[in-house]
Structures are given as structure tokens and as C-alpha cells.
Amino acid sequence: MNNKVLVIEDESGIRKVINDFFKAEGFTVVEACDGQDGIDKFFDGEFNLVILDIMMPKLDGWSVCRRIRKKSNVPIIILTARGDEDDELMGFELNADDYVKKPFSPAILVARAKKLLSKNHDKGDNNQEFVVKKDLKVNKLSREVFINDEKIGLSLKCFDILWYMLINEGIVLTREKILDEIWGMDYFGDTRVVDNHIKKLRKAMNDKSYYIRTVFGVGYKLEVK
């Protein structure tokens, strides 16, 4: 595996453990000791994954996540000691892709990173690579979305949901089905995470948000008319 990961964490001991485990699995690791250092290094290089702590000096993780998401859809794993559900929902609101609470198993963190990157490269079906529906264009390989020829930025999960709905256009997808397809059968979180990502996806689609329709009591479907 030849992936490059940026670890933004102010505790040197935690950085070293993450570094050691990821390097053992073939990753290239770049470390940043605070939020500002993380932003500088991120925009000065190219990364396949960001592991981001929340409580840091200079810039907190939420601010870093916002700045990255303005420019990039790179997968982001939030790493934090805070266990409040609202914090987890905040991470998803900011289009983070996964959320790991401290203390954590470094081996499990690596496994989750691999799974996230695998979905990033392989998500999709029917060997379709490019879908055009009127003024909506989606490229699975480059993971780019254009509406009226203007590129919009989506997180990994939001892109996966849009692609899944596109290749099932007109079919009502339950929250549970979306959760199993995008987050995996081993995810034990609440289906509200689906609603939260649909909300973010609609916001990103702006005046075309009506393409995603709510089927009350059931789930969602995408229709481009």
C-alpha cells in the first residue's frame, strides 16, 4: 500500500505510536504538532488520508477540518478524547469520514483507515465510471461532481451516498440500506448519521437539492427530472 497520511496531533507520544503502526503497514507518514502546522503541511503536499485531533493549540481540529474541506475531499478521521455525541455529529457535519475516540487501538485505527481508503478507491458498481443526468455530472474515478458545469466539494461519505443513489435512480433506499452500503454491516451507529449526510449533500447541491427526495417513513430516492 503506497498511501501518504498526515497525522495532525499535538501529543508526541500518540504521534509516534500512530507513525510506527502506519509505517509498518507501508504508509508514508507526515506529522504535524498543532493545527496551524497541520494546515501548512496539508496545503504544501498531497495526502491520501488525514488523521486529525480536535483539542490542539493554535487551531483546533474543527477549524482545520473546515479549511481542508474548502479545498479537498481527502478522507479525514477525527481523533479525540471527547466522547460527547454532539462532538461526533459535529465531525460528520463538517464532512469528516470517520470518528475514533481515545483511548484507541492503533491496529484498529490502521484497519479503519485501510477500509476507508478501500472504499474511496472501489466504491461504486456496474463498472460505471461516469454518470450524466441533465445538469448533474458525476465521475466515479476522479470523485468529482459538477452541477451546471460548476464543481462542488463533497466528503467521501457524501460522494458515496450520491453515487449509490445515482446508480439506483428512482428506487427508494431505506436509511438502513444506505447505512449498510456506505458505512458497512459492522457499523453500529444510529441511522441519524444518514439523515445528517443527506442534509449536507442537499446543501452542497444548492438549487438542485430537490433531486434527492424524502419518502416519509421509508427513506430517500434520487430523481433527476
Model pTM?
0.57
Please report, for the chain, the start and end positions of each structural domain, with discontinuous segments joined by +: 4-122, 130-222
Class of domain 4-122 as given by CATH = alpha beta
Q: Tell me phi and psi for residue 42, to 5 degrees.
A: -65, -45
Amino acid at 176: E
Determine the pLDDT at residue 1. Answer: 47
Determine the pLDDT at residue 38. Answer: 95
Q: Which residues lie across from 137 on neighbouring strands?
A: 132, 146
Amino acid at 72: S
Q: What residues of the chain score a pLDDT lower than 70?
A: 1, 82-93, 120-128, 185-186, 188
Answer yes or no: CATH 1.10.260.40 is held by domain 130-222. Answer: no
Determine the pLDDT at residue 101. Answer: 84
pLDDT digits (tens, 9 = 90+) for 100-118: 888 889 999 999 898 888 7
Determine the pLDDT at residue 120. Answer: 62
Q: Which residues lie across from 12 on neighbouring strands?
A: none
Determine the pLDDT at residue 140. Answer: 83
Determine the pLDDT at residue 89. Answer: 66
